[in-house]
Amino acid sequence: MGTTKNLKFDIETEAIGKICKALGHPTRIQIMTLLWRKDNRTCGEIVDLIPLAQSTISKHLLELKKANLVEIKYEGKKTIYSIEVDNIEVLKRFVSNYLSTIEISEQDKETVLTTKRKMRGRNRHLKQYNYQFPEKKVKQAAV
């Protein structure tokens, strides 16, 4: 087994990595969307809107908290969650800068967005551009 490389990145890159990792789950994106629409929600309110167990929502909220995407306030027995706007601004700045530097040629856009033909037969689930093995002999049907 190989060894793990420990690379040091600047603080902003580390923060963006944590944010993107936290947003890598559809439930967390949905939670962030709910909090963006109406800030200051309890876990119970989020559970009412997302059909998952309270414990599952709590775990997702914890992951968002670890990435500093949500703030937690305690009001008596209630825990109130809201969006940490400063870190969203960091992500917004990064994504805007990143997208402004990418140039995709028209030819590449066509390759990404279209398929040339439909596959048929038992291997139709394989993509057309999968690896080709020229040295592999292909069975020929008996004539």
CA angle, residues 138, 140, 143, in degrees to nearest 5: 175
Q: Is residue 94 part of a domain?
A: no
Return the axis-axis angle of helices 11-22 and 85-101, rounded to nearest 10°. Answer: 100
- CA dihedral of 36, 73, 56, 39, whole degrees rounded to 10: -10
How would residue 95 be classed by pLDDT, with cut points 50, 70 and 90?
Answer: confident
- pLDDT value at position 138? 56
Query: Is 25 a residue whose pLDDT tops 90?
Result: yes
Inside any domain, residue 117: no
Q: Is the pLDDT of residue 134 over 60?
A: no
Whole-prediction pTM: 0.64
What is the pLDDT confidence band of residue 129, given thresholds at 50, 70 and 90?
A: very low
- Angle in degrees, 0-180, between the axes of helices 11-22 and 54-66, rounded to the nearest 10: 170
Mean pLDDT of the chain: 79
- Amino acid 92 reads K
- Supply the range of the domain harboring residue 53: 11-88
Please indicate, yes or no, if residue 81 is contained in any of the structural domains: yes
Domains contained in the chain, number: 1
135 has pLDDT over 90: no
Task: Look up the CATH number of the domain holding residue 82.
Answer: 1.10.10.10
